Chain A
């Protein structure tokens, strides 16, 4: 018999009061303000024998250095908390503070980044965890699954090699039969590569009076609506939190993306129908948004007409977030209604942390030579040293990205003989009849199905983009992905091979079976 479960929630803002870099595109953006709160939300589950601390961060990814800093802070300030039991996931909003170094290129825009920003972020995350730890008290949990359409396949497959039609996009992607966000209004359009997954996994927490205190909400969709924003925002997780707060009071929400490397919130067909849907369904929300849109550099100098025109796209994106949030919240309510009939006060809690070696994606010498040439060519392209500061930031950060992506392939080629595997951290957590299994990747959905189908647990929450000391991020494509190519499935993006992906599946299942 396991011990009584203690549950605690905490949260902190990750939005500093100074401009910070916003990564997620090939060019760098800098925050011009905060449009919605961006948060670190922490949930502690502990029963005296084991513990798990879930932290979701409204960020595109969390640098391992942030994790190490959080662990160091907590080791000093909360000695009973086991730092290695921290599971920090990025929701993958493309409008959160960037925890990685921005890079060295000429720019004339003020921001705080790198170490300075990581110290801030680590402090906030540590404080959220501390709060959760200190507030922990006996409670219960419930779980279930439902359906909510959140992500759509973003890998469009063509009958022909679209790379030949589009030409090369060095430093960005190598297209083949697949193209990310490809046009479906094309007579060679064949299919979406792997389709989508409408499952939503839900894990609820209650206090000793059986009052709902929060939930882990796990959907196969990165929260990347509004992904070109120049203001900080949490994408649909903000809308979800607001709606749940309105219904249930200030409850905690850990927002997790399940495996969704090949999914995104965007529909790639039915775009006109989608627009009409929002126009008819959310006229007030649209008016509200347009009265107070997300701003961007140069916004203040625009005529009122240009302001409207320039904000239309971000408005659609915002409505998409609203729409997704409505579906998540409907599923949340639906599942809560029946799942809460069965609350567990002392579920078995086991938390394993492992490092698994995954086979690196190898590529031939010719490809490396090609990228070397690309890199040399990009090195010949000049950085902008003067002119409009925003144009300079865009141009230079873009060039820097392309240089480093081509250079990255060269470096990885050099490593592939010497280090054919990539150590990767995974957490596997048993909570009664369900489990959580994490990975650091933008993991293609098929891998999730492989794990879930074979897992000995009733439900298995796959959590992608979880930071470990050995790294965070990078797409992990499948064999069909690698064959079809396109952004997210080229050597620029893949550190680990599909064989490594299957190793991740097998290693995860091994632990799941051990702890069952």
Chain B
């Protein structure tokens, strides 16, 4: 990857080696890299009585309070491409995706339509892309779903076309910062609140969790998973190095003003306006929600403090709003324009303003340093894979219960007269509830035939960062699992990305499912938490594949005969020793990147273990324990080191050795109790030295000091070993990967899983 760093200071060789750009001249030259960047955007504010969905009742658009948009970003080199599109809608219907692709295929065949990633920002006040077939009594003239879908597909296609056609040489930068956007919306209680707080049939089943539950009660225990304040940012620049836009990724759905009757892009509108004021109106913004199924912009405590904050901070804005509030429909011929200054409607708007201010502050902060490192030819790879995720399979009893409830709801009456808006609200809500109940039976039956959901996942590598999409309202924990295991510096998780088969639905975690509440019941979950973990594992695999990892490991020989030598082995002896190599990463099950070779010899008194340890790539530097680590049994596993396990029956001894002649030696007794954990062998010796590409070390284990319970064959031991491969890359990043010779199933020191060492006589 060519990079162009505007300000760099070479500090020192190891950890803080900064990316370098030899001269300004080189920066200029590299501006004509392989990457092409293009931006486009279109309004998706369709005129007329367009349905707005996101609540259990249907609303109808009363005009445009803020613009709602489709924004497109094309990143392309000669080999691959990605086209990001964000839409100010609650979700994007697959029909829209398919139609937009068809338009593009016809009108601009060069666009690789399979590389389009369309995400919904999840504003609850955008035009609905659903079919919205009205099957209940209704007097409001509503634009049919099909027409809206066609319009939005046209607008998206035009935004993509604009981005594709305007693409020119450019560069990207990236970084992360902090901005508080979402808060946990799953309040957990000390006891089951299911009976106390009824969520309503067809809506949810409460348990220890109630979504948006009252926290000012003696039963309140905690938020389920807390929040995440990370903001991921990818900036784009034109050939002259001028900022042209950014992908902004925050774990928060844009659902302030979620009951509005006028189009409203929520905080993304405020963000776009603020960025336009700073960087010019042409700045493009792809607005992505990271995993945030269990998060929302609402604070669930400190509400009075929040109100006071806005009253003091945004008084003028609030006053100007109440003079000219969002349009709303007339009910019984009256439009209620009286909006109190401290009403929820005003608070919601200020919340959007407040969140936007934090996003923009983080945007500026990250740009100030990330902008120093621009990449005009990053590796660009885009993989799309269809995954099979286990469906949420609930018991038959739930189905029967829902059938009873559904039958009861069928006795509830639709309104057939009265105010059209009041009718719409009542009838659409009843219809939603009935549909959700009926869907339980349908899904149950479908699951019997097909227990998996097929869904597309996009994984995109752009240099040292990656994007990974999913179609769900994904609970936050899944994001942490992917990010915690990803081989990339940053991994942007993008939820609510439409695929041709579907979009949306909450994907709860195991703890979510246990705690119940809206978003974690069969009404809401098409995929089980087990499916969630499949999504995580498969996504991690895709990320590793994009990161050029080697294929999975074959089985290593598990029975090793150790040759006997006379006394301390000489170089010629080592040449004859068996070589054990190809360790398996314990986190990815791929071949460990850093090479390790272990050789074994014995002289009847000592078992000699010689390790040669290289780095994952040239130019990396072994992360050795500091010289200051003077004590035996120090935290060597936190540095590049070999862990060698030898045992019999259930007993094992653990030896860790590392550069600098460092040693940890412990024993683990049969009952897995403490007795010998602080065991220090009297005659154990370690020598080590650095080599051209890493280090080598020899461990001498005094066989007569090893004591085991029970009987076993003389000269036979169980063994395994691992390598904590820790190094610094030339870029200064730390590379950490632990590998095991024999892949682990449970504890590393679980001798039952280990191989066998036979000492030759």
Of the residues A145, A191, A449, A459, contact of B480 by C-beta under 8 Å = A191
Of the residues A145, A269, A453, contact of B309 by C-beta under 8 Å = A145
If A273-B490, A310-B626, A454-B218 touch, whether A341 touches B226 (CB-CB below 8 Å) is no
B186 CB to nearest chain A CB (Å):
11
User: Is A170 a contact partner of B12 (Cβ separation < 8 A)?
Assistant: no
A456 CB to nearest chain B CB (Å):
9
Interface string of A83-126 (1 = CB under 8 A from B): 00000000000000000000000000000000000000000000
Within 8 A of B (CB), among A353-409: 370, 373-374, 377-378, 381, 388, 390-391, 394-395, 398
In this complex, what residue of A is CB-closest to B748?
A165
Tell me, yes or no, whether B225 is within 8 Å of chain A by CB.
yes
In this complex, what residue of B is CB-closest to A326?
B365
Within 8 A of A (CB), among B472-504: 476-477, 480-481, 483-485, 489-490
Tell me, yes or no, whether A18 is within 8 Å of chain B by CB.
no
User: Is B734 a contact partner of A165 (Cβ separation < 8 A)?
Assistant: no
Within 8 A of B (CB), among A248-306: 268-273, 275-277, 279-281, 283-284, 286-287, 290, 296-299, 302, 306
Give the CA-CA distance A457 to B741 in the complex, in Å: 59
Tell me, yes or no, whether B573 is within 8 Å of chain A by CB.
no
The count of residues in chain A whose C-beta lies closer than 8 Å to any C-beta of chain B is 92
Tell me, yes or no, whether A438 is within 8 Å of chain B by CB.
no
Tell me, yes or no, whether A196 is within 8 Å of chain B by CB.
yes
* Set of chain B residues within 8 Å of A149, measured between Cβ atoms: 178, 180, 229
Give the CA-CA distance A391 to B12 in the complex, in Å: 30
Tell me, yes or no, whether B370 is within 8 Å of chain A by CB.
yes
Tell me, yes or no, whether B176 is within 8 Å of chain A by CB.
yes
* Set of chain A residues within 8 Å of B575, measured between Cβ atoms: none
* Set of chain A residues within 8 Å of B302, measured between Cβ atoms: 145, 199, 452, 458-459
User: Is B227 a contact partner of A195 (Cβ separation < 8 A)?
Assistant: yes
User: Is B178 a contact partner of A290 (Cβ separation < 8 A)?
Assistant: no
Interface string of B588-632 (1 = CB under 8 A from A): 100000000000000000000000000000000000101110111
User: Is A283 a contact partner of B626 (Cβ separation < 8 A)?
Assistant: no
Within 8 A of A (CB), among B209-261: 215-218, 220-223, 225-230
B376 CB to nearest chain A CB (Å):
17
User: Is B218 a contact partner of A506 (Cβ separation < 8 A)?
Assistant: yes
Tell me, yes or no, whether A243 is within 8 Å of chain B by CB.
no
* Set of chain B residues within 8 Å of A280, measured between Cβ atoms: 18, 175, 369-370, 372-373
User: Is B301 a contact partner of A449 (Cβ separation < 8 A)?
Assistant: yes
In this complex, what residue of B is CB-closest to A160?
B746
Stretch at the interface among B196-204, B282-290, B674-682: B674-682
B282 CB to nearest chain A CB (Å):
26
User: Is A197 a contact partner of B484 (Cβ separation < 8 A)?
Assistant: no
User: Is B312 a contact partner of A144 (Cβ separation < 8 A)?
Assistant: yes
User: Is B630 a contact partner of A391 (Cβ separation < 8 A)?
Assistant: yes
Interface string of B8-26 (1 = CB under 8 A from A): 1101111110100000000
* Set of chain A residues within 8 Å of B571, measured between Cβ atoms: none
Of the residues B225, B300, B361, B668, contact of A195 by C-beta under 8 Å = B225
Tell me, yes or no, whether B511 is within 8 Å of chain A by CB.
yes
A166 CB to nearest chain B CB (Å):
8
Tell me, yes or no, whether B305 is within 8 Å of chain A by CB.
yes
Tell me, yes or no, whether A135 is within 8 Å of chain B by CB.
no
Of the residues B14, B176, B674, contact of A277 by C-beta under 8 Å = B176
User: Is B537 a contact partner of A377 (Cβ separation < 8 A)?
Assistant: no
User: Is B312 a contact partner of A480 (Cβ separation < 8 A)?
Assistant: no
Of the residues A187, A338, A391, contact of B485 by C-beta under 8 Å = A187
Interface string of A438-456 (1 = CB under 8 A from B): 0000000110011011100
User: Is B221 a contact partner of A450 (Cβ separation < 8 A)?
Assistant: yes
A316 CB to nearest chain B CB (Å):
8
Interface string of B660-681 (1 = CB under 8 A from A): 0000000010001111011000
B353 CB to nearest chain A CB (Å):
13
Tell me, yes or no, whether A192 is within 8 Å of chain B by CB.
yes
User: Is A454 a contact partner of B216 (Cβ separation < 8 A)?
Assistant: yes
* Set of chain A residues within 8 Å of B16, measured between Cβ atoms: 279, 286, 290, 312, 315
User: Is A275 a contact partner of B15 (Cβ separation < 8 A)?
Assistant: yes
User: Is B630 a contact partner of A298 (Cβ separation < 8 A)?
Assistant: yes
User: Is B229 a contact partner of A198 (Cβ separation < 8 A)?
Assistant: yes
Give the CA-CA distance A402 to B485 in the complex, in Å: 33
User: Is B480 a contact partner of A302 (Cβ separation < 8 A)?
Assistant: no
Give the CA-CA distance A445 to B734 in the complex, in Å: 31
Of the residues A169, A192, A270, A390, contact of B226 by C-beta under 8 Å = A192
User: Is A281 a contact partner of B312 (Cβ separation < 8 A)?
Assistant: no
User: Is A276 a contact partner of B732 (Cβ separation < 8 A)?
Assistant: yes
Of the residues B226, B358, B628, contact of A296 by C-beta under 8 Å = B628
* Set of chain B residues within 8 Å of A284, measured between Cβ atoms: 9
Of the residues A276, A286, A341, A454, contact of B489 by C-beta under 8 Å = A276
Within 8 A of B (CB), among A135-190: 144-149, 153, 159, 164-170, 184-187, 189-190
Within 8 A of B (CB), among A12-27: none
Within 8 A of A (CB), among B1-48: 7-9, 11-16, 18
* Set of chain A residues within 8 Å of B588, measured between Cβ atoms: 187
If A168-B672, A280-B175, A298-B627 touch, whether A185 touches B485 (CB-CB below 8 Å) is yes
Tell me, yes or no, whether B691 is within 8 Å of chain A by CB.
no
User: Is B672 a contact partner of A167 (Cβ separation < 8 A)?
Assistant: yes
If A194-B226, A299-B628 touch, whether A268 touches B484 (CB-CB below 8 Å) is yes
In this complex, what residue of B is CB-closest to A374?
B674
Tell me, yes or no, whether B184 is within 8 Å of chain A by CB.
yes
Tell me, yes or no, whether A339 is within 8 Å of chain B by CB.
yes
A475 CB to nearest chain B CB (Å):
16
* Set of chain B residues within 8 Å of A194, measured between Cβ atoms: 222-223, 225-226
* Set of chain A residues within 8 Å of B736, measured between Cβ atoms: 185
B453 CB to nearest chain A CB (Å):
22
Of the residues B14, B305, B628, contact of A298 by C-beta under 8 Å = B628
User: Is A394 a contact partner of B631 (Cβ separation < 8 A)?
Assistant: yes
Interface string of B171-198 (1 = CB under 8 A from A): 0000110111000100000100000000
A372 CB to nearest chain B CB (Å):
11
* Set of chain A residues within 8 Å of B176, measured between Cβ atoms: 270, 273, 277
Give the CA-CA distance A313 to B623 in the complex, in Å: 11
Give the CA-CA distance A165 to B744 in the complex, in Å: 10
Give the CA-CA distance A144 to B306 in the complex, in Å: 9
Of the residues A275, A296, A298, A478, contact of B734 by C-beta under 8 Å = A275
Give the CA-CA distance A514 to B510 in the complex, in Å: 40
B420 CB to nearest chain A CB (Å):
41
Of the residues A198, A277, A308, contact of B369 by C-beta under 8 Å = A277
* Set of chain A residues within 8 Å of B668, measured between Cβ atoms: 167
User: Is B627 a contact partner of A302 (Cβ separation < 8 A)?
Assistant: yes
User: Is A281 a contact partner of B369 (Cβ separation < 8 A)?
Assistant: yes
User: Is B18 a contact partner of A458 (Cβ separation < 8 A)?
Assistant: no
User: Is B480 a contact partner of A269 (Cβ separation < 8 A)?
Assistant: yes
A70 CB to nearest chain B CB (Å):
33
User: Is A272 a contact partner of B217 (Cβ separation < 8 A)?
Assistant: no
User: Is A297 a contact partner of B229 (Cβ separation < 8 A)?
Assistant: no
In this complex, what residue of A is CB-closest to B674?
A170
Of the residues A195, A198, A338, A479, contact of B180 by C-beta under 8 Å = A198
If A185-B736, A388-B630 touch, whether A279 touches B18 (CB-CB below 8 Å) is yes
* Set of chain A residues within 8 Å of B673, measured between Cβ atoms: 168, 370, 373
A residues lining the B interface (CB < 8 Å): 144-149, 153, 159, 164-170, 184-187, 189-192, 194-199, 268-273, 275-277, 279-281, 283-284, 286-287, 290, 296-299, 302, 306, 308-310, 312-313, 315-316, 327, 330, 337-339, 341-342, 370, 373-374, 377-378, 381, 388, 390-391, 394-395, 398, 445-446, 449-450, 452-454, 458-459, 478-480, 502, 506
With A279-B732, A342-B312 already in contact, 16 other A-B pairs whose C-beta atoms are closer than 8 Å: A144-B305, A145-B305, A167-B747, A170-B674, A187-B485, A187-B587, A190-B481, A191-B511, A270-B483, A273-B175, A273-B489, A302-B627, A315-B15, A450-B222, A480-B222, A506-B218
The 7 A-B residue pairs with the shortest CB-CB distance in the complex, in nearest-first order: A195-B226, A184-B484, A453-B215, A453-B301, A147-B180, A149-B178, A191-B477
5 A–B contacts from the bound complex (CB under 8 Å)? A159-B533, A276-B733, A310-B626, A330-B361, A453-B216
